[in-house]
Amino acid sequence: MQNFNIRGGMSGNKNQIFIIAEIGVNHNGDVRIAKKLIDVAFQAGADAVKFQTFFSKDHISKYAPIADYQKNDSSIETQLELVTKLELTKEEFLDLKKYTENYGLVFLSTPFDFKSVDLLMDLDITCFKISSGDLTNKPLLEKIAKTGKPIILSTGMANLLEINESINWLVSSGCEKISLMQCTSSYPTEIKDCNLMVIKTLRENFDVPIGFSDHTIDSISSITAVGVGAVLIEKHITLDHNLDGPDHSMSMEPKEFQQFVQNIRNAENSLGSGIKETLPCEENVKKLARKSIVALIDIPKGTSLNFQNVGIKRPGTGIPPKFIENIIGRKINRSIKEDSIINWDDIED
């Protein structure tokens, strides 16, 4: 599979982890709130915002119960009732896409049904995100794959066989650019359930870019995910944990998300190049902390060096200790005072 760049059709700026601010349905059906969340994403330094696009009756049965974590409103008993009021129109999504792109951010959305795929194609979306819940939805995956757009596929609740099957469906339907997201479909996710080593497993098994969709309440897991190779990070954001809605309580408020993005950037910067070498910032300490061959006593000119008159001490600006046996028995061409560094020029040929 090919790597790909979400901006052109997977990285943010060069060599950056691509950070997705998951707005999802935390706009509560209000475009004004959605725009404020886009503001938050931009101000924090995210690379993209992601919404959820759906026609409620097309993908949820009226008998589908709500999940335990969504039971913050005792008056709502079904998913359909909960989600219907969170729908946005095509015109509203178009407005939000333009608003997002004016900031230079990437607009992403997850379609949950066929009509939503068509809607997002009409908006000329650059990349599709597929939710964990639809990883086994062969017809939807095939429809999205046939668009030819890159796909980011979340893998919550899945095993390797299911992921492999899903990728085969996508590839056989024409998708050439796929990324996988390690994800745990528990809201919020406990640290012990993140299973971040799966990032390595997915990369080794499928040789595609791997990311992490973080449903924990802090940044520790995402920082760790960067350390084990994640190149995309997704995090839910909200204006206020206490707003009504299914996902607000497990999302990050603006100041939290700003710190989250900074933590990810710091984690990324800490990875470095992978080349083990002396860094410019180490040069001064290198001279002071390493050691050289020095005179243990005053050594007159013409004296042969031996283990009684030379030794090894800081700083490391002279002959390195590994050469001490090379100079034993050789004479010096000048007088050297006790504790002075011995240089190659001090030794007779």
The residue ranges of every structural domain in the chain are 6-271, 280-346
Distance CA 108, CA 22 (A): 9
**pLDDT for residue 71 is more than 90:** no
Q: Residues 86-106: pLDDT tens digits? A: 999 999 999 999 999 999 999
Q: Which long-range contacts (CB under 8 A, 24 or more apart) does 201-206 make?
A: 201/160, 202/155, 202/163, 203/229, 205/160, 205/164, 206/1, 206/163, 206/164, 206/167, 206/178, 206/180
- Helices marked H in 45-152 — which ranges? 56-59, 79-84, 90-102, 114-122, 138-145
Q: How confident is the model at residue 1 (pLDDT cuts 50, 70, 90)?
A: very low
Nearest to 210 by CA among 167, 273, 261: 167
Name the CATH superfamily, with its identifier, for domain 6-271: Aldolase class I (3.20.20.70)
315: its two tokens = 């700083």
pLDDT tens, 14-42?
A: 457 999 999 999 999 999 999 999 999 99
The answer to whether residue 13 scores a pLDDT higher than 50 is: no
The closest alpha carbon to 332, from 287, 299, 286, belongs to 299
Segment 152-168, tens digit of pLDDT: 999 999 999 999 999 99
- Specify the pLDDT at position 9: 45
Work out the end-to-end distance of the chain between its first and last CA atoms, rounded to an integer number of angstroms.
Answer: 61
Average pLDDT over residues 311-328: 97
Correct CATH for 280-346 of 3.20.20.70, 1.10.1050.10, 3.90.1210.10, 3.40.50.2300 = 3.90.1210.10
Q: Do domains 6-271 and 280-346 have the same CATH topology?
A: no
- For the chain, what is the mean pLDDT? 93
Dist. CA 58–CA 116, nearest whole Å: 9
Cβ atoms < 10 Å from Cβ of 281: 7
Contact 138, 172 (CB under 8 A): no
Q: Please give the Cα distance from 57 to 40 (Å, whole number).
A: 31
Q: Is the dihedral of CA 301, 305, 308, 309 positive or negative?
A: positive
Mean pLDDT of the 324-336 span: 97
Per-residue tokens: 180: 């996988």
Q: What is the mean pLDDT of residues 247-273?
A: 95
Taking the model in full, what pTM does it have?
A: 0.89
Residue 331 pairs in a beta bridge with: 304
